Amino acid sequence: MTQTATPSARRAVLFAFAQRYFSFALQLGTSIVMARLLTPQETGIFSLAATAVAIGGIVREFGIGDYIVSQKEMTPEKVRAAFTVTIGVAWSIALVIALAAYPLAAAYHEPGVAHVMHILCLNFMLLPLGATALAMLVKELKFDTVFVIQAASALIGAAVTVVCALKGFSYTSPAWGSVASIVTTFALLLVMQPHAVMMRPGLGNLRHVLKFGGQNTMSRLVEGISTRADDFIISGMLGFHSSGILSKSNSLNAGFYTFFASAVVSVASPLMARARHAERDIFEDYRRVTLLMAAVQWLFFGLMGICAHEIILLLFGPAWLEAVPILQIGAIQGLIYSPFMLCTPLLTAYGAMGAQLRVNLVFGVTLATCLVVGAMHSLVAAAALSVLAHVVRLLLLAAAAHRLCGISTMAIVRGMGPTAVIGLGAAAAAWAGRSLALWLQLPLVLNLALAMGCGALACLALAVVFKHPLALELNKLRRRRATATGTP
């Protein structure tokens, strides 16, 4: 990971962040619009169907992206073998999902579930044709190309989703938007990377790909089923309205990882794999990135927990206020998660698929138990108990990473005193700003803006005082920009 200092790696991080920020803003805007076009019931129907298809999507990927990233050298034979496995698995899973849609819809007494699943199956026909090409772009750190492709695809998908909702397509609108996004991705890859898309299948190295992919897929499948168990359990025990509320709050809680932390992870994984092949020590870089990300995460989730009421009311309207306590519980989970963010990509970079599988099996059983017990009481109880399961998973991942390469996450946690002070200071400033706005009876948007502004300023000020990696990194960016523009 020492290569994070190189221009190519920094450029990759910047483009990865740009893509995530663009996608986050676009998804948030789409979510705001759709919250006013679809009811919680309609959202719950789509969420259940999308969750079922997403589990199939884990098998469809078959760990090919991780396989390509983890390899020291990708020969043409390996690339063609990966392409062959991707197509074979994806098209087989598409057939399975299409058939499984009927019994799942019957189990929940909602034919709309099958309708959505059949539409989403179309993605499985096109996704494998471009998956290998995208994975190669990530391995080569060509995130500028990835940015263009994914940003354009997200824009088309969002536009189609909203238009379909306005035309009365109801819960199928997001499904058609997803299909439009995948079609755009394939079309752009066909134009920009035709040699990678129009490759011929190959059987060389097939055994190696299948072995790696099998272990990876089992681990990801268990993890995927576990993390999406809430949709199935809550829909079955508390109804689609509750699952719709949970889905909306989860989408905000997951926003940080999906569109911010994942930018770091997507670049860190290939860099850690390179460091592993070169037998370089990565602890100091690992610690620095963890501290850097923790400061940002604690600011994000601190603000989310404090301003949950304003966020839900402003973004989605009063019909979704039941999501406020769920959002606050998710914020607590996000705070706990921050020091452990790099554990999973570290295990992937070192090829430790078996360790991830064992951790995810324990996590799956624990989470399902917590959700069922909690759902017997209420949606809030189910969300609160699920945090315990996630803590168990994080501790097991940290222990596995320590055994694998000697990196102690708990040692990093014990040295996070200054980062904790920064997070607490930012939270206190945000709370004070929100309290002042409420006392002044400011409009809702100004209430939120004042709280966020106070929290962000306090975070930056404390980072400078403590000479935190966050302040050092921002100072580097400022100096680089000054050098590029010729300003002092």
pLDDT digits (tens, 9 = 90+) for 296-342: 889 889 999 999 999 999 888 888 889 999 999 999 998 898 888 88
In 256-293, which positions are buried (b, 16+ CB within 10 angstroms) versus exposed (e)? Answer: bbebbbbbbbbbbbbbbbbbbeeeeebeebbbbbbbbb
Please give the pLDDT value at position 29: 85
Contact 20, 254 (CB under 8 A): no
pLDDT band for 1, please (50, 70, 90 cuts): very low
- Under 8 Å between Cβ of 60 and 127: yes
- Among residues 147, 148, 153, which one has the least CA distance to residue 184? 153
Percent of the chain whose predicted confidence (pLDDT) is above 90: 23
Rounded Cα gap, residues 81 and 227, in angstroms:
30
Higher pLDDT, 402 or 8: 402
Residue 1: closest CA among 199, 239, 271, 246: 271
pLDDT tens digits along 3-53 = 444 445 556 666 766 776 777 778 878 888 888 888 888 988 888 888 888
Position 409 scores a pLDDT of 85
Looking up tokens 């680089």 gives: 480
- pLDDT of 395: 93
| pLDDT at 69 (0 to 100) | 58
The band of 426, judged by pLDDT with boundaries at 50, 70 and 90, is: very high
Tell me which DSSP letter residue 201 carries.
P
Mean pLDDT confidence for 119-128:
82
Confidence of residue 384 (pLDDT cuts 50, 70, 90): very high
State how far the Cα of 412 lies from the Cα of 393, in Å rounded to an integer.
18
3-state secondary structure of 378: coil
Highest mean pLDDT among 198-212, 256-270, 360-374: 360-374
Closest residue by Cα to residue 132 from 177, 88, 92? 88
Instruction: State the greatest distance between any 2 C-alpha atoms of the chain, in Å, as a whole number.
Output: 70
Arithmetic mean of pLDDT, 264-275: 65
The answer for residues whose C-beta is within 8 angstroms of residue 243's C-beta and 6 or more apart is 44, 47, 48, 230, 231, 234, 235
Query: Is residue 166 over pLDDT 90?
Result: yes
Domain ranges of the chain: 2-415
Report the residue count for the chain: 488
Reference 351, options 224, 222, 212, 210; nearest CA is 212
In whole angstroms, how large is the CA radius of gyration of the chain?
A: 22
- Interval 220-255: pLDDT, tens: 666 666 667 777 888 888 888 888 888 888 878 776
